[in-house]
Structure 1
Amino acid sequence: MTTPLTVMLGDHPHTRPLKDGTVPVTGVDCRYLESSPLPPAFARMVRELAYDICEMPTATYLQARDAGVPVTLLPAVLVGSTHHRSLTRLPEGPDIAPGDLAGRRVGVRAFGQTTGLWVRGWLQEEYGVTSSDVTWVTTEDVHVAQFVNPPYVERSKATRVVDLLRSHDVSAAVLGPKAIGGQGAGLVPLVADAENAGLAWARRHGTIPANHLLVVRDDVLRTRPDSVLAFYQALKKSIADTADERDDSPAGRAVTAGWSASLTACLKIAGRYAFEQGLIRQPVDVEAIQKDTAFLDT
């Protein structure tokens, strides 16, 4: 009997049909595992190769690939959005702008958090503030064990990024999509008209920032390519079948499966940002990444 595929996916409208069997994976026994919260599963994947297929943040994937972790990207975006609203401050605090952050302290869950990658990218592009201009105060370690934080990253004893703001340890904080509506309720973005600023970024670059992608262990892809293909085809169907549940916002449009000009652009920009920020040691060859799984879309 064939060994089941162990799969770790977050709870999204486009993954639920897979988990509940509404969209079956033809000829493959998939065992869908759960992690609440989800981020610890990312660390288990890159440190222990704990699953056959796993949802993974973009920055974690780029760092894992750079460190030689044997995982391969499957061309699917499970979570994405623009991130100009992700850089926040206390509403009663000083009315600082993004360009004022040079020389200041900014909270972020981890230096390798994907939202932080995108925020630091537009900070440099649009305001001239580079990563090393800021002291980044973190509440967690990065997922990839091999990575060593640069000297301008400081580990705090706080458990939540918003607590760094409320204790006035930082001037601003980077919050991921879920945290904005959770611990970050009531905070305000540093960017005036952040929604339109994010849309302008997306138009300029021809893509929407991806937060969560999907990876497969190299040995699984090598020994069970037909099973991986069947899973990927089921995921594509699940994403297509749930299209009506997503709106025309950047977050809704970001969810896709398949190689496209948008996904290629997204990976190239994320790779450039990651290299500029010192998250990875070598530039990213997106064409080589695409070649590894081109067979999935043939």
Structure 2
Amino acid sequence: MSAKLSIATYAYEHTEALFDGRVTIDGVDATLHTAPLVSDIFRGMLEGRYDVAEFGLTYFLRSFDPESLEGAPFMALPIFPNRNFRHSAVFVNTAAGITRPQDLTGRTIGEFALFGHDAGVWLKGILSDEYGVTFDRCRWVIGGTDHPIPTFDWVPQPVPDGVDVRHAADGETLGAMLESGEIDALISVDVPRSLLNGSTKIARLFPDYENVERDYYRRTGIFPPMHIVAVRKELVERTDILKSVYRAFGEAKELTQQKYRQDALKQHMGVITPWFSRHFEENRTLLGEDWWPYGLTANRKAVDTFLRYHYEQGLSKHLLTSEDIFVPAFLDT
């Protein structure tokens, strides 16, 4: 008899085969869900609407009992549906005199959604490790980039002692505050619309971010994961079911990767981006044949680095390890 599971993930190209039925989950009667905003999926998981769901790493970690690992309602599968290099996610006011990362010290910085969103955890950690810029020497304003958003009161919001953090006022947006100079810089998964529209008042901290990010990968081997797939604690012992879920997500992802490999023979003529094949070739050379890997072996260093950053930034009370957060049956994947 098939197990009934409610499964939620964003509709990426590498999850499309789960939604259209090209990939099925053996032994599971799955009801698949998505949402216009991926954060709505996170909230739905926290509110008990799903059995299995894509989850931002920090949202997942904030669900852990700060005093004990026993109270965690979820564990993770080493499926990474969302990942991105993040040097491209730092924006500055061009009149603020910020020309290098070290110039961020002592500044007022906006951050999208909450203090320590996934991209923010990565960037604060990288700024500290590589440039000596620590988050506690800056002031922080939380909010929406181009649309006001309320405080995410459905998820714990720890803030380290002595760190100046406030939420933007009602109606304020971080993009407008950056353009006016009310804040000096911004860390955001969303690019400020005014920058895309040609504003000269906003620029990226790393103008040549692609080469900076490629160099970061060459040196560290880290392609930063943003999200994992979480499962309810009561499913942890159902390894047969969870292995089917893991295989299905992997098969859907591999179908997408294989299409890009095959389309290289025709220079990706179905893609409307000029020089895409050249870009694909460069990525394949740098990142390998499986450039978006699932499983813990290929991702352990990246995950453990994020866990360290989360702890150092005061978002986790304990320094967690991969063994603490992943379903035990998947530690050797």
> TM-score, normalised to structure 2's length?
0.79
1:85 aligns with 2:88: yes
Partner of 1:56: 55
Partner of 2:73: 70
Distance 2:12 2:116 in 1: 23
- Does the 8 A contact of 1:80 with 1:251 survive in 2? no
Size of the aligned set, in residue pairs, is 292
Partner of 2:267: none
1:31 aligns with 2:23: no
Partner of 1:135: 139
Distance 1:254 1:90, change over 3 A: farther
- Does the 8 A contact of 1:6 with 1:52 survive in 2? yes
Partner of 1:255: 292
> Is the partner of 2:78 in helix, strand or coil?
strand
Partner of 2:216: 201
Q: How far has the Cα of 1:63 moved from its partner?
A: 2.5
Distance 2:121 2:130 in 1: 14
- Does the 8 A contact of 1:106 with 1:173 survive in 2? yes
Q: How far has the Cα of 1:88 moved from its partner?
A: 0.7
- Does the 8 A contact of 1:78 with 1:256 survive in 2? no
Letter in 2 for 1:14: H
- Does the 8 A contact of 2:158 with 2:314 survive in 1? no
**TM alignment of 1:266-277, pairs within 5 A:** 266-277=302-313
Q: How far has the Cα of 1:220 moved from its partner?
A: 2.4
Distance 1:143 1:26, change over 3 A: farther
**TM alignment of 1:163-174, pairs within 5 A:** 163-174=176-187
Distance 1:226 1:39 in 2: 28
- Does the 8 A contact of 1:107 with 1:173 survive in 2? yes
Q: How far has the Cα of 1:188 moved from its partner?
A: 2.4
Distance 1:163 1:44 in 2: 30
Q: How far has the Cα of 1:62 moved from its partner?
A: 2.5
Q: How far has the Cα of 1:97 moved from its partner?
A: 2.4
Distance 1:279 1:245, change over 3 A: farther
- Does the 8 A contact of 1:66 with 1:282 survive in 2? no
1:180 aligns with 2:191: yes
RMSD between aligned alpha carbons? 2.7
1:121 aligns with 2:125: yes
Letter in 1 for 2:108: R
Q: How far has the Cα of 1:175 moved from its partner?
A: 1.7
Identity of aligned residues (%): 26
Partner of 1:243: 257
Letter in 1 for 2:157: F
Which of 1 and 2 has greater Rg? 2
Distance 1:159 1:210 in 2: 30
1:23-44 CA-to-partner distances (Å, cap 9, x unmatched) read 1112211111122212122133
1:54-111 CA-to-partner distances (Å, cap 9, x unmatched) read 1111222222235443111101111112111110124566453221111111111111
Letter in 1 for 2:132: G
Letter in 2 for 1:154: R
Q: How far has the Cα of 1:291 moved from its partner?
A: 6.0
Distance 1:113 1:91 in 2: 24
Partner of 1:153: 165
1:212 aligns with 2:227: yes
Distance 1:200 1:144, change over 3 A: farther
- Does the 8 A contact of 1:75 with 1:259 survive in 2? yes
Most deviating of 65-74 and 118-127 = 65-74
Q: Which has the higher contact order (CA 8 A, sep 6+)?
A: 1
Q: How far has the Cα of 1:203 moved from its partner?
A: 2.1
